[in-house]
A and B are shown apart, each in its own frame.
Chain A
């Protein structure tokens, strides 16, 4: 049974950092491309970042390029999103998701609020 559990969200001041984690079970993260997708309050879905199944390629939306870093720890079967220089517009519910040939499973999300 595929399960994704995000953690690490919280309230943080602008300019500060957070690291989100996504613990996977029921499959091996090193065998799949993995994604982060966010949803601002009362807004739609926005793709944020992805890491290829082999870890060689990482992709980001322009607005987080240079500030966010996606990574994974295969030994812990966990995906991460390091978020630096946070801005108010990064406030959202952050989901991790697995890609088979399409994004097929999503976690329940972890909430990030950037506010002074």
Chain B
């Protein structure tokens, strides 16, 4: 199974300040079609997960441009340029290059200072 490791596991950020979350995979997530199967989700308190970023750096419909993703191979980063109160929740990276199983990172909890 591909192991996804996120750091940090928790983050406390002042509104307006940037935030960054790292995700490392135990194997390359680059598939034979040239796509990298790494995605980011946000689970807001009391809600189901919602897709933020797909294939490393593509924002999903309706996702604000303060969210950006980068990386390649096995190392990936989610950045929030200016954190807002509505960004609180748990962020997960997920790999879908290998099925089964699809695997998630442990989650990174973002809180507002």
| A interface residues (Cβ-Cβ under 8 A, vs B) | 35, 37, 44-47, 50, 59-62, 95, 99, 101-109
Contact = CB atoms under 8 A, between A and B. Distances in A.
B51 A102 contact: yes
A46 B54 CA distance: 18
Contacts of B101: 47, 59, 61-62
A47 B106 contact: no
Contact of A102 (B50, B54, B90): B54
A91 to B, nearest CB: 18
Chain A, interface SS category: strand
B60 A47 contact: no
6 smallest CB-CB distances across A and B, nearest first, come from: A47-B102, A59-B100, A106-B48, A102-B54, A45-B104, A44-B107
A36 B48 CA distance: 13
Given A102-B37, A103-B39, A44 B104 contact: yes
Chain B, interface SS category: loop
18 contacts: A35-B102, A44-B92, A44-B105, A45-B43, A45-B49, A45-B94, A46-B104, A47-B100, A47-B104, A59-B100, A59-B101, A101-B54, A102-B37, A102-B51, A103-B102, A104-B54, A106-B49, A109-B48
Interface of B: 35, 37, 39, 41, 43, 47-51, 54-55, 60, 90, 92, 94, 96, 99-107
A103 B38 CA distance: 11
A6 B75 CA distance: 34
B60 A104 contact: yes
Contact of A50 (B60, B94, B102): B102
Given A95-B48, A108-B48, A103 B99 contact: no
